[in-house]
Amino acid sequence: MNATWTHRTVLLNEAVTALQVNPDGHYIDATFGRGGHSRLLLSLLSPLGRLTAFDKDLDAVAEARSIDDPRFSIRHEGFRHLDQMPQAGIAGVLMDLGVSSPQIDNPERGFSFRNEGPLDMRMDTTRGQSVAQWLEDASIDAMTEVIRDYGEERFAGLVARAIDRYRQASGPLVTTAQLAEVVASAVKTREPGKDPATRTFQALRIFINAELEELQQALQASLGVLAPGGRLVVISFHSLEDRIVKQFMATHSREVYDRRTPFAAPKVMQLSSLGRIRPSEQEVAANPRSRSAVMRVAERTGDTA
């Protein structure tokens, strides 16, 4: 791992504070990254406490394995597997979504249009298709749908057709620079200061890693593993993620009545939504990548049935 690829944990103290750490509790860091949240959490646990972390990224797993602490364990898998943890036995779940700075800054990972590298974008490079492999055979309609739905790109159709023209003339896209150039040729206007390729790269990364589907599965699994009073803390970095988290917490923070049986008792709410937190001006100034972060917090209610 290159030492210059550093990562500054977003909302570090705020997230751990929101968990209301019980020193003897069992906690989950669902996205270890480079371990900022995990290390702070461990510093607050007693010898009886435990922390289990998840991550698909091999570099993140290697970093986690450098932590020599019997209270800590790392699982090389996505957080959709939260349901394998003890049911109603977890004191808190933390999800820090998105891409870490080392992933973005390492050209070999293919996440960024700023540095040329292989067009990969997989969180877990040991399995699945790379973006280059998917783009080689994807139809124009499929590309348009992905870029529109996951990137909220209004020029999705133009980008998809530009990719297809490039494939016909020059063969498969294999580098980030090639894709960025193709997108720039199709997207003629963009918000000030934003690269034309931003939304397309976001869309392809989210799609190739099934990020939104995994988030939905992990949120649902959290209901099963959280103990009564346990906290769910989620940090998201773009509107698609935040919308899913917001709707999930809202849906499970209200009683549900079955209109077909109006006299039946309502299904009790499973969460109590505790609001959201944004980074301070000082944090955004020190770490511009934190500017889009939104942290939402909820607490598991007493009835886990």
Domain boundaries, the chain: 12-101+211-300, 125-208
> Tell me, what amino acid is at 218?
A
**In angstroms, rounded to a whole number, what is the distance separating the alpha carbons of residues 172 and 163?**
9
**In angstroms, rounded to a whole number, what is the distance separating the alpha carbons of residues 157 and 144?**
5
pLDDT at res. 262: 60
Out of 2.40.420.20, 1.10.3210.10, 3.40.50.150, 1.20.1090.10, select the CATH number for domain 12-101+211-300.
3.40.50.150
How does pLDDT run across 13-42, given as a tens digit for each residue? 999 999 999 999 999 999 999 899 999 999
Q: What is the CATH number of domain 125-208?
A: 1.10.150.170
Residue 195: pLDDT above 80? yes
**In angstroms, rounded to a whole number, what is the distance separating the alpha carbons of residues 48 and 213?**
34
Fill in the DSSP letter of residue 264. S
8 A C-beta contact, residue 15 and residue 283: no
Q: Phi, psi at residue 274, to the nearest 5°?
A: -110, 10
**In angstroms, rounded to a whole number, what is the distance separating the alpha carbons of residues 4 and 79?**
27
Mean pLDDT on 248-259:
76
User: CA end-to-end span of the chain, whole Å?
Assistant: 45
CA 285 to chain centre: 23
**In angstroms, rounded to a whole number, what is the distance separating the alpha carbons of residues 303 and 230?**
12
How does pLDDT run across 126-138, given as a tens digit for each residue? 999 999 999 999 9
- Confidence category of residue 7, pLDDT binned at 50, 70, 90: low
Strands 226-236 and 90-96: parallel
